[in-house]
């Protein structure tokens, strides 16, 4: 509780440290948090927090010798920089790590310290929730409806019908509207289900939120999400190419397929289930941060959040990697159990980004239990992301890998969405609520 309030007072500016996005990130994040905005010049002093390993790499380089290790906590270092140095730092990190490394930028020392104080993992669940596997009938029955061509078609559309899905351009907003319309088509026979655009201050691109109201515990939310935007170098040209097939049309396609299957089966969860496509992740988790902070401010109860970001590239010996940082350890352990139960042939592992690399971090920072399932160990992920080569061709026009994530997400939704088994008159235990049981032969 203390951490949550603490965080609300000191909202950090989130920055993408990838070369392609860093400049815009600060401006956009500032626009999303107008209270924190004041003119930034090259000489403006800022504080950044970043992984100790990334800090050591930077500090060892001639260009960045002045960097001081001001404070350190839980493997995260706080240092001071000038705004004008950020792009160079970002480029150096990208080059020396050979991957997208990230850091958070903060306008004040107090904000930076508040970010240091947020633990990278949490292991006690909000509100004492516990997760259990008790809906195997429903999971195994609905799994059979998941469809690979449907996943492929969504990735194909999102990665070819627009030049990019960048937050600042009309194509980025159109892609969000297309996702809303697709998800609405899945909900046509379900008047109680809503699919809405959620706008964010200072950002042209909306998020998309599908809501299935809970039958028994409507105030308890289960969230499945992934970002809908894309990025690559050249963002100053509105027609720049950023297909973002793996990052993250593949996550959006997995989410849509889960929605399609549960809605077609007339699945009525006991808890409220929300499926979210987040805007503007690539410039610093702007959409998810706005939503998660809004839930926190409203005191909403979110029992679990699962993030899908990059699902279709097979890069490690294991099939799946659950991120171990900026996530909830208990929820992640439960995800491992879901895999072991419903996809026992799969191997999974854990891996760390080393920074809050996707939207799960926004929920984590807001104090909610969040986990992220990744296609590979960090560093073995698709090397084509954030480039014009992040296409379906690079993925071999094959969604076998993404399909494993659709199965995981479906089992997550059904199990955590339905915490209770119900006893019926005849004494037989059934999988779920009466409404649901009636719709299954």
Residues forming contacts to Zn ion in the complex (CB under 5 A) are 247-248, 309
Measured from the CB atom, is 114 or 361 closer to Zn ion?
361
Q: Which does 14 bind (CB under 5 to 8 A by kind): Zn ion, ligand BES, none?
A: ligand BES
Q: Return the closest-CA partner of residue 330 out of 358, 378, 368, 376.
A: 368
Q: Which two tokens stand for residue 280?
A: 């503007």
DSSP 8-state class, residue 355: S
Measured from the CB atom, is 248 or 270 closer to Zn ion?
248
**Catalytic residue of the set 85, 156, 229, 247:** 247
- Tell me the window of 14-22, 78-86, 213-221, 341-349 that interacts with ligand BES (CB under 6 A): 14-22
CA 322 distance to own-chain centroid: 12
Per-residue contact string for residues 98-137; x = within reach of ligand BES by CB under 6 A: --x-x-----------------------------------
Per-residue contact string for residues 305-334; x = within reach of ligand BES by CB under 6 A: ----xx------------------------
Q: Are 316 and 349 in contact (CB under 8 A)?
A: yes
Q: How many CB atoms lie within 10 A of CB 297?
A: 11
Measured from the CB atom, is 138 or 378 closer to Zn ion?
378
Pick the binder of ligand BES from 155, 193, 203, 374 (CB under 6 A).
Answer: 374
Least distance to ligand BES from the beta carbon of 101, Å?
A: 7
Least distance to ligand BES from the beta carbon of 361, Å?
A: 7
Concerning whether 282 is annotated as a catalytic residue, the answer is: yes
Least distance to Zn ion from the beta carbon of 410, Å?
A: 21
Q: Which two tokens stand for residue 75?
A: 């493997």
Least distance to Zn ion from the beta carbon of 231, Å?
A: 9
Measured from the CB atom, is 14 or 275 closer to ligand BES?
14
Measured from the CB atom, is 322 or 378 closer to ligand BES?
378
Q: How far apart are CA 366 and CA 363, in angstroms?
A: 5
Under the binding rule (CB under 6 A), the answer on residue 210 touching ligand BES is no
Q: Are 377 and 340 in contact (CB under 8 A)?
A: no
Pick the binder of ligand BES from 112, 285, 320, 410 (CB under 6 A).
Answer: 285
Q: Residue with CB nearest Zn ion?
A: 247
Least distance to ligand BES from the beta carbon of 282, Å?
A: 5
Least distance to ligand BES from the beta carbon of 94, Å?
A: 8
Could you check whether the bond before residue 248 is cis, i.e. omega within 30 degrees of 0? yes
Concerning whether 386 is annotated as a catalytic residue, the answer is: yes
Q: Which does 187 bind (CB under 5 to 8 A by kind): Zn ion, ligand BES, none?
A: none
Concerning whether 309 is annotated as a catalytic residue, the answer is: yes
Under the binding rule (CB under 6 A), the answer on residue 17 touching ligand BES is yes
Concerning whether 434 is annotated as a catalytic residue, the answer is: no
Q: How far apart are CA 131 and CA 158, in angstroms?
A: 34
Under the binding rule (CB under 6 A), the answer on residue 16 touching ligand BES is yes
What does the CA dihedral 352, 357, 360, 365 come to, rounded to 10 degrees?
Answer: 100
The DSSP secondary structure of 211-228, one letter per residue, reads EE--SSEEEEEEEEEEE-
Q: Are 286 and 314 in contact (CB under 8 A)?
A: no
Q: What SS3 string covers 28-75?
A: HHHHHCHHHCCCCCCCCEEEEEEEHHHHHHHHCCHHHCCCCCCEEECC
Under the binding rule (CB under 6 A), the answer on residue 357 touching ligand BES is yes
Q: How many CB atoms lie within 10 A of CB 19?
A: 18
**Catalytic residue of the set 106, 167, 221, 227:** 227
| Number of residues in the chain | 441
Q: How far apart are CA 181 and CA 187, in angstroms?
A: 10
Secondary structure class of 430 (helix, strand, coil): strand
Residue owning tokens 């509207």 = 177
Residues that bind ligand BES (CB under 6 A): 14, 16-18, 100, 102, 247, 281-282, 284-285, 309-310, 353, 356-358, 374, 378, 381
Q: Which residues are catalytic?
A: 227, 247, 281-282, 309, 386
């Amino acid at each position: 509780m203390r951490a949550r309030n603490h965080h609300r007072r000191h909202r950090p500016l989130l920055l993408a440290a990838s070369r392609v996005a860093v400049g815009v990130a600060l401006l956009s994040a500032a626009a999303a948090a107008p209270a924190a905005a004041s003119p930034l010049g090259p000489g403006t002093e800022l504080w950044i927090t970043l992984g100790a390993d990334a800090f050591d790499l930077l500090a060892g380089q001639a260009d960045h010798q002045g960097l001081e290790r001001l404070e350190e906590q839980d493997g995260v270092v706080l240092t001071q920089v000038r705004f004008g140095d950020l792009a160079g730092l970002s480029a150096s990190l990208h080059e020396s790590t050979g991957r997208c490394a990230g850091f958070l930028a903060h306008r004040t020392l107090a904000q930076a310290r508040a970010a240091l104080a947020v633990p990278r993992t949490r292991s006690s669940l909000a509100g004492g929730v516990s997760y259990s596997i008790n809906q195997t009938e429903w999971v195994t029955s609905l799994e059979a409806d998941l469809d690979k061509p449907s996943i492929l078609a969504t990735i194909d559309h999102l990665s070819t019908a627009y030049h990019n899905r960048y937050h600042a351009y009309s194509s980025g907003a159109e892609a969000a509207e297309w996702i809303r319309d697709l998800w609405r088509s899945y909900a046509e026979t379900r008047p109680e289900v809503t699919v809405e655009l959620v706008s964010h201050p200072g950002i042209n691109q909306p998020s998309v939120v599908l809501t299935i109201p809970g039958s028994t515990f409507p105030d308890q939310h289960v969230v499945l999400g992934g970002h809908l935007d894309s990025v690559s170098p050249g963002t100053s040209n509105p027609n720049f190419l950023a297909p973002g097939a793996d990052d993250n049309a593949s996550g959006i396609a997995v989410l849509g397929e889960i929605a399609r299957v549960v809605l077609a089966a007339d699945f009525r969860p006991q808890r409220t289930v929300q499926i979210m496509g987040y805007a503007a992740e690539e410039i610093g988790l702007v959409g998810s941060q706005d939503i998660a902070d809004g839930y926190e401010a409203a005191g909403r109860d979110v029992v679990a959040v699962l993030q899908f970001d990059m699902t279709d590239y097979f890069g490690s010996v294991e099939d799946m990697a659950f991120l171990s940082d900026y996530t909830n350890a208990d929820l992640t352990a439960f995800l491992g159990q879901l895999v072991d139960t419903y996809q026992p042939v799969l191997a999974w592992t854990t891996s760390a980004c080393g920074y809050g690399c996707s939207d799960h971090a926004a929920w984590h920072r807001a104090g909610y239990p969040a986990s992220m399932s990744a296609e590979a160990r960090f560093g073995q992920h698709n090397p084509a992301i954030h480039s014009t080569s992040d296409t379906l061709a690079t993925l071999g026009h094959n969604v076998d890998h993404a399909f494993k994530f659709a199965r995981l997400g479906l089992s997550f939704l059904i199990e955590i969405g339905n915490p209770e088994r119900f006893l019926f008159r005849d004494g037989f235990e059934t999988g779920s609520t009466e409404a649901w049981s009636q719709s299954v032969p």
